[in-house]
């Protein structure tokens, strides 16, 4: 029993007493009183589970769980750092957290996603160790401000020593704090989740070795390290003179594993298993991520149930087949669907929706609606088209496409292609496909813009003669704030810009619109786009 | 019906109106409450009385003012006050209209927010103590989805929608959500996730923390009452955000969504697949998206135009050319309402600053608001002066009318009422045929169509109508719509309307024409005839029709044929009689803004062209004698950059630097220029004055000036510096001219 422990205890009592005072005076207007962090927060907290439950909760993860339990060892045994890796949603985080729930040992968890920078990571770890919680009373400040790795090592060591002493302190004292079950032991584990994100931080090259080396720097046997990452250790190690952590690999789930996972916790087991037998096969070929699958399945299962509602519930062969034939058309669109957009019922939208339904329903493929469904000014439309043309057509053809005849001459220039040239063309075509839309300088874009607007103006006047007045000005009007239009096109992600200043020569643009979109735009202003497109 | 109610409403206001010359504001504010329809209806009965009062009698307390001759500044002051009055009215009208257009969608959104909140809650809320634990809670993956509302703004430009999202924020806040909004700057690559969270904390917690993280938000949410309110995060325009930052942000939020019920609302400016283009797929799969559609800019524009130019009682109107310009500007250049409103404001300001008699608008306004008219006295201040101005040559006087101010104004008002009714009636028909209001308006304002009546036309007209015209000068003119014009289309359209639409149309007409009894009567007759024509079928059947009119259409064709013709001829006569473009009305200058050049100049600055023109025609700006005298030769006293730019005109796209320098040098050290040394002082650059007497400028100084000028041209965006490939050439950036 040390002084620190005493002070800690007193601090805790003062805090809890102050909270009690608060509660007594009836000042708690908030639904939930302030949460006072205790040592209990370092363990998982909920009632712990048996090993059998643990194993049955994670079908397909038996070997990994047993391996991890082995590596963690019995109570109070020191360990080497572990490196747990495997693809996304293969159960790394949940398995580890549930293992700690089973073992009932204290740990500090920090995800590098939530802690998005070095400072937040350090401070989050220290806050947990020091049982500090940010709230309105302390102005949402951390227990310690810590930005540098050296500071962190010192503070961490201090905090860890304190915690370990508490853990080693007599179990009777802990017992008064209503810690149930067997003791926690005096090991504390630091878990770093989503470690792969650290690689994108600034100074990641020094942070990663630091984290991996932390075990040796601290040189405390009572601290265990676990790193969780979805990329393999090869992507981190740089031979910086630290001991390689012990790798634990979480493999992808097999189809059987997935079936077991999904069948768990289902009310209507038989129904669901017949559903899975239909669905899992095709989906397994696309993704094995439990997350993605469960989102896709939850909506599909609803339609599956609807499809079989009127059939009798006894799943015999014939009804199964009938159900399958009814359900089958839903599968393939769901396979392509990344992202589903529903539109909530509304009085106003209903009318519009009815019209638009065809277009928006099968999102993911091309939008089948004929019209452009958002507003763009005419000059922006022309600019978009010229950007599209500049990206698609080779620059050498500009002169022939946009001469005074307005592109019609390009038709005549077609030659009968020879065998060899066809072959060459195919190679070129593939090359262009790989390259994607080309880049172009601002001048070329503006030149094309000027050409197509001047051509279009004539046709525009023919179409609607009532805007005949001051037609000379029209051209210049379309032209006048073209740079402004360009910047708004860039903002809308239709044109991508590289470089900084548009007046320096270095800037090149690239149009990212699809051909469908460009055709739609062209149709809305009655522009003969196909005439100007160079077909290879 | 209306009059009694209207007087009741207006009566208590009169005392406040007494001191109106000192302060407009209370008058205006008080009147905002009374509905527009009321005041309009009340005008009908008040008109006769008003006209008698309009004679310059100068009532209470203004006599002293009347005696002294008002000077220009006083007039100007009046005009400015009037401008303020008119513009503030217009502005509030526009705001109201915009709010009305959005209110339905906003309600939908807030309902959806609460539905999603309930959905999150139903999937199990973790205990409040575990909310701040750093490790994730275990739930099924379905619970980790982030409910996302995609709000389609349907406009590539986001300027209009910034206001919309702000109002959406207020709306949701008033419905009890925690609301924070993130702009695209906060979601840029530069500020990264830390910036987003910091901004969230700043808006929700009202604190600025330098180490911002989600733990703070979680513990704040617990303090605020755990799971009582949803937290709504609005991302204004998803296209402008940095995709990777937004994806990271979404993934992080989805990890926390069980602990903090966050609901995202994202504005999508272009197509619905924008999120799929911007976000990464692992972020995308966390979203459970619903879409909401805001009114398209064209719809909003129509609503605003209708409210401001047609329905609004303030008489300010625009001429044909201005309307055409605005329409073109909206379609071609800048499809935002913001720019339209700005254009209207500019038009207003220009009108009131240029038009000497424009202050009379205020009087019309006041009369409009206040049926008794006796409180409009403050504008009686200057009747004499006004009539002086009136007799000025700028107003084309019309014989046969006395140029009494009161008569003129009431005539204008009567015209305006009828004209706007006709346009509104046409617009109602046009709605069925997808004719845009702006197109209609442009045509309705075109003075070209208001032609002298040919004799055969007039006789036919009189036969048809059987009525005599009220005033003599209306007879020889009529509005003849073009065969391919929108108005003609619209009138033709009536013929093809199915019965149930016709009924709708007539009903809407009845509502519109309420304030002009003679037209109103006609509409009523038509409606009656329609009901009789459809004989047995009662109104309920008509309502039914919408469902099965396809099957019963055949039956109706026979019945409704005559009534359709009647309706069409009625519309025709309406157009002929009452459609008079504003520019054909005597004294329209009082209320109508016509100067399209001014507006154009203000809206389309065209800075690039301006720079080039100014460089070439610098004499017009500097106005020094030396250069104005001999326009076509370059003088050394001109500014370096203008000399350089004029010289550059002789080259093509590529300019050889050496040649350019040589010619520059020649101009600078031109022997003829020496004679003009004395006048050199007029030109601006200081450097040149340094050694005017030194005959030979050193090569170095010329070179320095050359370099400065080249740099200036480059900064102005006219030149591009030499590339590595051709170091001795600069390139002209020659777009825009």
Average pLDDT by consecutive 10-residue portion of chain B (737 residues)? 40 39 36 37 37 36 41 75 85 88 90 90 72 69 80 83 89 92 86 87 85 85 83 89 89 86 89 84 84 85 85 76 86 81 87 76 62 44 55 48 65 81 84 80 79 52 43 50 73 78 82 78 81 56 45 46 78 78 76 82 74 80 72 76 85 84 84 45 44 61 90 83 80 63
Asked if residue A436 is part of any domain, the answer here is: yes
B248 touches chain A (CB under 8 A): yes
In this predicted structure, what is the pLDDT of residue B48? 37
Contacts of A34 in chain B (CB under 8 A): 223
A84 lies in the same domain as A195: yes
CB contact under 8 A, B141 and A341: no
Asked if residue B211 is part of any domain, the answer here is: yes
CB contact under 8 A, B239 and A88: no
CB contact under 8 A, A292 and B274: no
Domain boundary residue among B244, B262, B295? Answer: B295
CB contact under 8 A, B485 and A376: no
Question: Mean pLDDT across the stretch A511-518?
Answer: 85
Domain span at B123 = 102-295
Is the separation of the CB atoms in B13 and B371 below 8 Å?
no
Å between B279 CA and nearest CA of chain A: 11
Contacts of B284 in chain A (CB under 8 A): 338-339
Best probe of the A interface among B223, B246, B441, B731, by most A CBs < 10 A, is B223
Nearest Cβ partner of A338 from B108, B281, B721? B281
Asked if residue B117 is part of any domain, the answer here is: yes
Is the separation of the CB atoms in B208 and B202 below 8 Å?
yes
Q: Helices B192-204 and B214-223, interaxial angle, to 10°? A: 20
Asked if residue B575 is part of any domain, the answer here is: no
Rounded-to-5 percentages of helix, strand, coil across chain A: 55, 10, 35
Q: What strands lie across the sheet with B729-732, from one edge to the other?
A: B654-656, B729-732, B719-720
Question: Mean pLDDT across the stretch A149-174?
Answer: 79
In this predicted structure, what is the pLDDT of residue B668? 82
CB contact under 8 A, A343 and B157: no
Asked if residue A90 is part of any domain, the answer here is: yes
Asked if residue A417 is part of any domain, the answer here is: no
In this predicted structure, what is the pLDDT of residue B114? 92
Rounded-to-5 percentages of helix, strand, coil across chain B: 65, 5, 30
A244 lies in the same domain as A154: yes
A496 lies in the same domain as A435: yes
In this predicted structure, what is the pLDDT of residue B170? 92
Q: For B570-595, give the secondary structure using H, E and C.
A: HHHHHHHHHCCCHHHCCCHHHCEECC
Q: Report residue A106 as tokens.
A: 């204290």
A479 lies in the same domain as A456: yes
Domain boundary residue among B295, B310, B332? Answer: B295
A452 lies in the same domain as A486: yes
B104 touches chain A (CB under 8 A): yes
A431 lies in the same domain as A310: no
In this predicted structure, what is the pLDDT of residue B210? 77
Angle subtended at Cα A92 by Cα A276 and Cα A96, rounded to the nearest 5 degrees: 120
**Whole-angstrom Cα distance, residue A211 to residue A217?**
10
List all residues of chain B from 471 to 530 with a beta carbon under 8 Å from chain A.
482, 484-485
In this predicted structure, what is the pLDDT of residue B194? 86
pLDDT band at A360 (very low <50, low <70, confident <90, very high): very low
Residue A479's Cα: distance from chain center in Å? 41
In this predicted structure, what is the pLDDT of residue B106? 92
Greatest Cα-to-Cα distance within chain A, rounded to the nearest angstrom: 98
Å between B141 CA and nearest CA of chain A: 5
DSSP letter (8 states) at residue A284: H
A7 lies in the same domain as A135: no
CATH code, domain with B234: 3.40.50.300
A490 lies in the same domain as A465: yes
Give the total number of structural domains in chain B.
2
Element (H, E) at A442: helix A442-463
pLDDT band at A25 (very low <50, low <70, confident <90, very high): very low
**Whole-angstrom Cα distance, residue A133 to residue A142?**
8
Select the highest-mean-pLDDT range: A190-199, A410-419, B42-51. Answer: A190-199
In this predicted structure, what is the pLDDT of residue B173? 92
In this predicted structure, what is the pLDDT of residue B20? 39
A402 lies in the same domain as A457: yes
**Which residues have C-beta within 8 Å of that of residue A526, sequence separation ≥ 6?**
A459, A463
Asked if residue B486 is part of any domain, the answer here is: no
CB contact under 8 A, B296 and A133: no
DSSP letter (8 states) at residue B604: -
Question: Mean pLDDT across the stretch A250-254?
Answer: 88
Average per-residue pLDDT for chain A: 73
Give the total number of structural domains in chain A.
5
Question: Mean pLDDT across the stretch A304-333?
Answer: 71
φ and ψ of B264, to 5 deg: -95, 140
Asked if residue B209 is part of any domain, the answer here is: yes
In this predicted structure, what is the pLDDT of residue B174? 92
Asked if residue A357 is part of any domain, the answer here is: yes
List all residues of chain B from 328 to 347 with a beta carbon under 8 Å from chain A.
328-335
Nearest Cβ partner of A478 from B252, B275, B332? B332
Tell which residue, A447, A521, A511, has the closest CA to residue A479: A447
**Whole-angstrom Cα distance, residue A80 to residue A247?**
11
Contacts of B277 in chain A (CB under 8 A): 493
Counted residue by residue, chain A has a size of: 536
Tell which residue, B508, B489, B364, has the closest CA to residue B424: B508
- The residue of chain A with its CA nearest to that of B610 is A480
Å between A496 CA and nearest CA of chain B: 12
CB contact under 8 A, B142 and A295: yes
Q: Is the model's pLDDT at A107 over the cut of 90?
A: no
Select the highest-mean-pLDDT range: A337-346, A488-497, B117-126, B607-616. Answer: A488-497
Location of structure tokens 């009131």: B352
CB contact under 8 A, B223 and A30: yes
B727 touches chain A (CB under 8 A): no
**Which residues have C-beta within 8 Å of that of residue B616, sequence separation ≥ 6?**
B642, B645, B646, B649
Asked if residue A46 is part of any domain, the answer here is: yes
pLDDT in tens, A207-247: 888 888 888 888 888 889 999 998 888 888 666 667 788 88
A22 lies in the same domain as A132: no
A5 lies in the same domain as A42: no
DSSP, residue by residue, B510-530: HHHGGG-HHHHHHHHHHHHHH
Asked if residue B435 is part of any domain, the answer here is: no
Å between B434 CA and nearest CA of chain A: 15
Asked if residue B441 is part of any domain, the answer here is: no
Asked if residue A452 is part of any domain, the answer here is: yes
- The residue of chain B with its CA nearest to that of A125 is B134
Contacts of B251 in chain A (CB under 8 A): 113
**Whole-angstrom Cα distance, residue B452 to residue B426?**
23
Which has the minimum average pLDDT: A155-164, A357-366, A407-416, B323-332?
Answer: A357-366
- The residue of chain B with its CA nearest to that of A340 is B289
Element (H, E) at A274: helix A269-286
**Which residues have C-beta within 8 Å of that of residue B597, sequence separation ≥ 6?**
none
For chain A, state the CA radius of gyration: 33
A101 lies in the same domain as A132: yes
Asked if residue B341 is part of any domain, the answer here is: no
Å between A149 CA and nearest CA of chain B: 16
Domain span at A357 = 346-370
Q: Strands (DSSP E) along A291-403, which ranges? A: 341-342
Asked if residue A418 is part of any domain, the answer here is: no
Cα A256 to Cα A60, A263, A287: the distances in Å are 8, 11, 14
B319 touches chain A (CB under 8 A): no
SS3 B146: strand
Nearest Cβ partner of A375 from B296, B608, B717? B296
């Amino acid at each position: 029993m040390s002084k620190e422990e005493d002070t800690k205890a007193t601090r805790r009592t003062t805090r809890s007493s102050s909270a009690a005072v608060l509660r007594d005076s009836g000042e708690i207007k908030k639904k939930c009183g302030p949460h006072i962090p205790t040592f209990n927060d370092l363990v998982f907290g909920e009632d712990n589970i048996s090993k059998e439950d643990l194993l049955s909760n994670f079908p397909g993860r038996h070997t990994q769980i047993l391996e991890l339990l082995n590596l963690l060892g019995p109570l109070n045994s020191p360990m080497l750092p572990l490196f747990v890796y495997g693809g996304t949603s293969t159960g790394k985080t949940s398995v580890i957290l549930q293992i700690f729930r089973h073992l009932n040992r204290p740990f500090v968890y920090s995800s590098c996603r939530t802690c998005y920078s070095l400072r937040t990571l350090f401070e989050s770890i220290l806050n947990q160790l020091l049982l500090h919680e940010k709230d309105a009373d302390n102005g949402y400040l951390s227990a310690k401000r810590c930005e540098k790795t050296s500071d962190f090592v010192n503070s961490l060591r201090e905090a860890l020593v304190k915690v370990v002493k508490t853990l080693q302190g007599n179990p009777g004292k802990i017992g008064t704090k209503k810690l149930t079950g067997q003791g926690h032991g005096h090991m504390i584990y630091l878990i770093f989740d989503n470690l792969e994100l650290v690689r994108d931080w600034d100074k990641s090259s020094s942070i990663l070795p630091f984290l991996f080396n932390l075990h040796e720097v601290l040189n405390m046997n009572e601290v265990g390290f676990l790193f969780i990452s979805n990329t393999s250790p090869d992507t981190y190690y740089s031979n910086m003179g630290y001991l390689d952590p012990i790798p634990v690999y979480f493999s992808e789930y097999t189809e059987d594993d997935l079936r077991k996972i999904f069948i768990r916790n289902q009310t209507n087991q038989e129904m669901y298993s017949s559903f899975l037998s239909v669905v899992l096969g095709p989906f397994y070929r696309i993704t094995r991520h439990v997350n993605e699958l469960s989102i896709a399945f939850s909506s599909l299962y609803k339609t599956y149930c609807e499809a079989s509602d009127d059939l009798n519930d006894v799943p015999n062969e014939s009804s199964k087949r009938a159900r399958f034939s009814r359900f089958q058309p839903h599968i393939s669109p769901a396979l392509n669907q990344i992202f589903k957009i529903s539109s909530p019922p509304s009085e106003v939208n209903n009318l519009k929706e009815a019209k638009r339904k065809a277009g928006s329903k099968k999102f993911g493929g091309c939008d089948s609606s004929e019209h452009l469904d958002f507003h763009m000014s005419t000059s922006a439309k022309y600019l978009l088209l010229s950007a599209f043309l500049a990206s698609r057509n080779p620059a050498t053809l500009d002169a022939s496409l946009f001469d005074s005849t307005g592109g019609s001459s390009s038709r005549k220039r077609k030659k009968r292609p020879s065998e060899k040239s066809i072959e060459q063309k195919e190679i070129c075509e593939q090359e262009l496909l790989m390259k994607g839309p080309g880049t172009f300088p601002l001048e070329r874009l503006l030149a094309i813009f000027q050409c197509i607007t001047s051509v279009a103006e004539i046709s525009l006047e023919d179409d609607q003669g009532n805007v005949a007045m001051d037609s000379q000005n029209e051209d210049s009007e379309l032209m006048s704030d073209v740079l402004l239009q360009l910047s708004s096109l860039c903002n809308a992600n239709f044109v991508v810009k590289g470089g900084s200043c548009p007046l320096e020569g270095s800037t090149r643009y690239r149009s990212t619109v699809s051909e469908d979109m460009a055709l739609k735009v062209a149709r809305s202003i009655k522009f003969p786009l196909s005439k100007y497109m160079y077909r290879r | 019906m209306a009059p009694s109610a209207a007087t009741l409403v207006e009566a208590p206001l009169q005392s406040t109106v007494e001191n109106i010359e000192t302060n407009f504001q209370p008058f205006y504010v008080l009147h905002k409450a009374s509905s527009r329809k009321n005041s309009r209806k009340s005008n009908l009965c008040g008109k006769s009385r008003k006209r008698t009062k309009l004679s310059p009698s100068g009532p209470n307390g203004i006599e002293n003012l009347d005696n002294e001759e008002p000077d220009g500044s006083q007039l100007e002051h009046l005009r400015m006050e009037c401008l303020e009055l008119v513009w503030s009215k217009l502005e509030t009208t526009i705001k109201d209209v915009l709010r009305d257009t959005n209110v339905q969608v906003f309600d939908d959104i807030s309902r959806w927010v609460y539905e999603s909140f309930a959905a999150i809650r139903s999937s199990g809320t973790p205990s409040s103590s575990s909310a701040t634990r750093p490790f994730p809670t275990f739930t099924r993956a379905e619970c980790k989805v982030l409910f996302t509302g995609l709000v389609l703004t349907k406009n590539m430009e986001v300027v209009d929608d910034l206001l919309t999202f702000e109002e959406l924020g207020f709306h949701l806040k008033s419905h009890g959500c925690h609301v924070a909004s993130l702009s695209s700057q906060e979601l840029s690559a530069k500020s990264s996730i830390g910036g987003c969270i910091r901004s969230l904390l700043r808006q929700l917690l009202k604190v600025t923390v330098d180490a911002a993280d989600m733990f703070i938000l979680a513990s704040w949410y617990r303090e605020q009452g755990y799971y009582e309110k949803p937290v709504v995060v609005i991302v204004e325009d998803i296209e402008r955000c940095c995709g990777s930052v937004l994806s990271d942000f979404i993934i992080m939020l989805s990890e926390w969504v069980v602990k903090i019920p966050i609901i995202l609302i994202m504005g999508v400016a272009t197509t619905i697949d924008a999120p799929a283009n911007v976000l990464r797929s692992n972020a995308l799969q966390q979203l459970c998206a619903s879409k909401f559609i805001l009114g398209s800019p064209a719809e909003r524009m129509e609503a605003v135009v209708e409210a401001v130019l047609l329905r609004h009682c303030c008489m300010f109107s625009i001429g044909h050319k201005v309307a055409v310009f605005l329409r073109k500007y909206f379609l071609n250049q800048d499809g935002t309402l913001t720019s339209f409103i700005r254009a209207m404001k500019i038009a207003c300001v220009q009108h009131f600053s240029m038009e000497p008699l424009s202050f009379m608008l205020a009087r019309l306004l006041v009369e409009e608001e206040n049926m008794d008219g006796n409180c409009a006295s403050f504008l009686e201040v200057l009747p004499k002066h006004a009539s002086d101005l009136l007799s000025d040559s700028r107003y084309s006087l019309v014989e046969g009318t006395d140029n009494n101010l009161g008569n003129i104004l009431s005539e204008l008002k009567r015209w305006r009422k009828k004209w706007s009714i006709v346009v509104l009636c046409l617009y109602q028909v046009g709605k069925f045929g997808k004719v845009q209001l702006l197109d209609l308006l442009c045509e309705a304002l075109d003075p070209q169509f208001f032609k002298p009546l040919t004799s055969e036309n007039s006789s036919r007209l009189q036969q048809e109508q059987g009525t005599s015209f009220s005033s003599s000068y209306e007879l020889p003119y009529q509005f003849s719509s073009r065969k391919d014009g929108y108005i003609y289309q619209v009138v033709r359209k009536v013929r093809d309307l199915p019965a149930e639409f016709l009924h709708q149309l007539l009903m809407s007409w009845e509502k519109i024409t309420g304030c002009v009894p003679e037209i109103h009567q006609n509409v009523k007759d038509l409606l009656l005839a329609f009901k009789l024509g459809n004989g047995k079928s009662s109104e309920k059947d008509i309502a039914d029709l919408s469902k099965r009119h396809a099957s019963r259409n055949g039956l109706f064709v026979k019945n409704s044929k005559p009534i359709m013709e009647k309706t069409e001829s009625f519309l025709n006569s309406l157009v002929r009689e009452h459609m008079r473009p504003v520019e054909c009305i005597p004294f329209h200058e009082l209320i109508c803004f016509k100067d399209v050049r001014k507006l154009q100049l203000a809206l389309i600055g065209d800075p690039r062209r301006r720079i080039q023109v100014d460089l070439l025609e610098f004499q017009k700006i500097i106005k020094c004698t030396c250069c104005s005298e001999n326009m076509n030769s370059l003088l050394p006293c001109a500014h370096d950059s203008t000399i350089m730019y004029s010289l550059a005109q002789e080259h093509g796209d590529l300019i050889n630097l050496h040649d350019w320098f040589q010619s520059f040098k020649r101009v600078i050290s031109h022997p003829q220029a020496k004679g003009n040394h004395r006048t050199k002082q007029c030109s601006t650059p200081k450097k040149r004055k340094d050694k005017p007497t030194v005959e030979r400028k050193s090569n170095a100084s010329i070179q320095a000036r050359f370099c400065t000028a080249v740099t200036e041209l480059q900064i102005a965006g006219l030149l591009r510096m030499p590339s590595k490939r051709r170091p001795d050439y600069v390139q002209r950036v020659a777009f825009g001219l």
